[in-house]
Structure 1
Amino acid sequence: MAPQRIPLHPSLKALGERVRAEDPFLSRIRSIGNKISLALPLSPPCRFELLQSDRVNAYALPGNLVALTLGAVRLAGDDAGIAGLLGHEIAHLLLRHRRRGSAQEFEADRVGRQLAVEAGFDRDGLKNFLEGFDRLLSASPDALRSFSHPPTRQRLEKLGLFEQG
């Protein structure tokens, strides 16, 4: 018998195909995301989904839905990297960012890193993810570039994490 699939949230339909509930990456991001978000004043509580896409992207969507692509989870690597990325997206929800520009991205980086740290994850998780993303963009000029996100090195500098060298 084929695994049962849960209907796709309308906001996700254009973004990619959701991975089955049995996927170990989905269990992992839900566990990490819940650890970060459950104590926060968000109603409804955050939901976490994983999109079947090799592109590196993450979304904070209406209804407190956070979605990561498989590409983003793979780039994040470890739990600290995933927590940094989830913290950033959860921060957008917590801070009620409707429009996204550099100021909102910097704020979500700062608050998201703090949320991940308060949940017990290494503070370098977001730094490591952003450094990996910067390497990906440098190696592949056609890789996803979001107009709402300032340059990665600038984000690292704002976090006080960029080391010249």
Structure 2
Amino acid sequence: MQINFKYSGTKFVFRVNKLNSPTMRILVLIAALFCFFHIDAFAQKKVGGKVLKGYDVIYPFKNGRAKVIKNGKMGFIDMQGEEVIKPEFDQVYPFEKGVARVENMGLLGLINESGEILLDPIYDYIGTAKDGLVIVTRKGKKGLVKITGSAPENVEYLVDVRD
């Protein structure tokens, strides 16, 4: 019997004579876990053909960006391993339609793929961007904000949702 594992383009093949034996099952599991964690640790350091240093964690890529953690702060790198968003946020969320939510001290903001701050992290909630608009909540009030590439000067809050 042959068991195939594929991870990050690398194929691992295990050939086993008796998979039904408990010992063989345990050995296959250990081998699979070893390969996964060993390759994952290596893959996190090599991106776009170059070895990256100085990051605590590099997450898998999503929408062409990978979240990174450096000294407890988060940012993004691109597929070539270039830092596109400097690690300066407490939390970053995946890019959707060219924008990503960022969080500092429990408050949310928005950035674009170039790292420009579209909305400063001052909001309690930011909805999903659609047609250049986003619903935000701040201090119990909801508002509709147009994402223009610069922080809005005046946010007109539509309703007060405080208790």
Tell me the TM-score normalized by structure 2.
Answer: 0.30
Q: Which has the higher helix share?
A: 1
More contact order relative to length (CA 8 Å, sep ≥ 6): 1
- More strand per residue: 2
Specify the structure having the higher radius of gyration (Cα). 2
